[in-house]
């Protein structure tokens, strides 16, 4: 075996074992299906309906609201702040969740393989505690650290500076990454344990460097976990309202008004429940698109039936 051709990849093509779903078991799934339809499907349909009305939090339209058709959609298309909020949401979700939490979680999992047991236990405990903390606690901790006279201001050498005001989106993203990295680390630790040791040992015998082993063996075998982790971090970040709201309230100005914050402001500060529901529906559609995209990436190219491997 030559080191020039040494590589690894996850299984491709159709599964050759027996089918994983039996139609006879659908009867057993019927109660759960009814519960999901009653709790989730009905709520989603009603939310889409509310998004097409002029429902208000206060005033006559709080009771006697009407179906307005595409009026809210027209407002959405012509709302320049919606595009601004959508762009901030993309930066926040992609930077702190898809890239930040996933990369840091993977790095921690890989480094912990070679670390001493006390270091491994301490690092894992800190990451898990950060993930298990309530969002309110995380927001308070990061807010206290990033305001004047806070920890970060003192580390930067200027206790009177205000890092949170200077770079609000950066610090709410760091708080989100800090809260999710522990979960990502757990996923990658479990995935790394499933990689056959004989593959890495063969690469070591062939004198393949650590970086190249990671790039050609470990990373390809981690692809399903990377995709799953990326999807989970996307969903958790996209719905992260608490940390952003408690740290900045969407400010200063509109610097951190991501879609969940903008939807809340429209519904409960500006009393436009119909338009706020429509913004929430946009987030639901974005989540569904991301989910389908991640699934397609995870499945990868399919081998044609009958094609020799």
Q: What is the CATH number of the domain that holds 195?
A: 1.10.3720.10
What three-state secondary structure class fits 198? helix
The count of domains in the chain is: 1
Identify whether 225 is part of a domain. yes
Query: Is there a contact between 93 and 234 (Cβ–Cβ < 8 Å)?
Result: yes
Identify whether 158 is part of a domain. yes
Identify whether 305 is part of a domain. no
Half-sphere exposure of residue 165, counting CA atoms within 13 Å on the CB side? 7
Question: pTM for the full model?
Answer: 0.84
Identify whether 191 is part of a domain. yes
Identify whether 138 is part of a domain. yes
Neighbours of 64 (CB within 10 A): 10
pLDDT digits (tens, 9 = 90+) for 267-297: 999 999 999 999 999 999 998 898 888 878 7
pLDDT digits (tens, 9 = 90+) for 209-255: 888 888 888 889 998 899 899 989 999 999 889 999 999 999 999 99
Length of the chain: 309
Distance, in Å, from the CA atom of 133 to the CA atom of 135, rounded to the nearest integer, reads 6
Query: Is there a contact between 171 and 100 (Cβ–Cβ < 8 Å)?
Result: no
Q: Supply the pLDDT for residue 302.
A: 53
Distance, in Å, from the CA atom of 97 to the CA atom of 34, rounded to the nearest integer, reads 33
Rounded to whole angstroms, what are the CA distances from 210 to 4, 112, 119, 188, 219? 14, 15, 21, 18, 12
Identify whether 8 is part of a domain. no
Q: Supply the pLDDT for residue 196.
A: 86
Identify whether 76 is part of a domain. no
Ramachandran angles phi, psi of 197, nearest 5°: -70, -25
With a CB cutoff of 8 Å and minimum separation 6, the contacts of 132 are 182
Give the range of the structural domain holding residue 168, as residue numbers without chain letter: 81-299
Q: List the chain pLDDT tens, one digit each, 309 residues.
A: 444 555 555 555 555 555 666 777 778 888 888 888 888 888 899 999 999 999 999 989 999 999 998 999 999 999 999 999 999 999 999 999 989 999 999 999 998 888 888 888 888 888 888 889 999 999 999 999 999 999 999 998 899 999 999 999 999 999 999 999 999 999 999 999 888 888 888 888 888 888 888 888 888 999 889 989 998 999 999 988 999 999 999 999 999 999 999 999 999 999 999 999 999 999 999 988 988 888 787 776 654 444 444
């Amino acid at each position: 075996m030559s080191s020039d051709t040494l590589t690894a990849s996850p299984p491709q093509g159709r599964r050759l074992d027996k089918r994983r779903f039996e139609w006879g078991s659908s009867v057993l799934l019927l109660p759960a299906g009814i519960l999901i339809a009653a709790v989730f499907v009905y709520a989603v349909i009603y939310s889409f309906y509310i998004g097409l009305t002029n429902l208000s939090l206060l005033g006559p339209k709080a009771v006697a609201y009407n179906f307005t058709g595409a009026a809210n959609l027209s407002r959405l298309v012509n709302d320049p702040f919606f595009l601004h909020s959508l762009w901030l949401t993309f930066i926040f979700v992609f930077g702190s969740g898809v890239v930040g939490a996933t990369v840091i979680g993977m790095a921690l999992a890989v480094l912990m393989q070679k670390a001493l047991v006390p270091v491994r236990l301490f690092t894992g405990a800190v990451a898990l505690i950060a993930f298990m903390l309530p969002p309110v606690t995380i927001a308070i901790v990061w807010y206290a650290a990033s305001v004047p006279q806070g920890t970060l201001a003192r580390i930067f050498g200027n206790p009177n500076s205000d890092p949170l005001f200077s770079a609000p989106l950066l610090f709410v993203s760091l708080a989100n990454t800090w809260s999710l990295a522990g979960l990502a680390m757990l996923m990658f630790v479990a995935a790394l344990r499933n990689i056959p040791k004989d593959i890495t040992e063969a690469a070591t015998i062939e004198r393949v460097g650590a970086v190249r082993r990671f790039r050609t063996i470990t990373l390809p075998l981690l692809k399903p976990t990377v995709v799953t982790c990326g999807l989970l971090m996307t969903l958790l970040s996209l719905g992260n309202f608490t940390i952003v709201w408690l740290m900045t309230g969407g400010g200063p100005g509109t610097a951190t008004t991501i879609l969940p914050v903008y939807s809340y402001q429209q519904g409960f500060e500006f009393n436009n429940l119909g338009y706020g529901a429509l913004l929430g529906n946009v987030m639901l559609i974005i989540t569904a698109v991301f989910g389908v995209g991640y699934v397609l990436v995870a499945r990868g190219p399919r081998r044609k039936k009958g094609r020799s491997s």
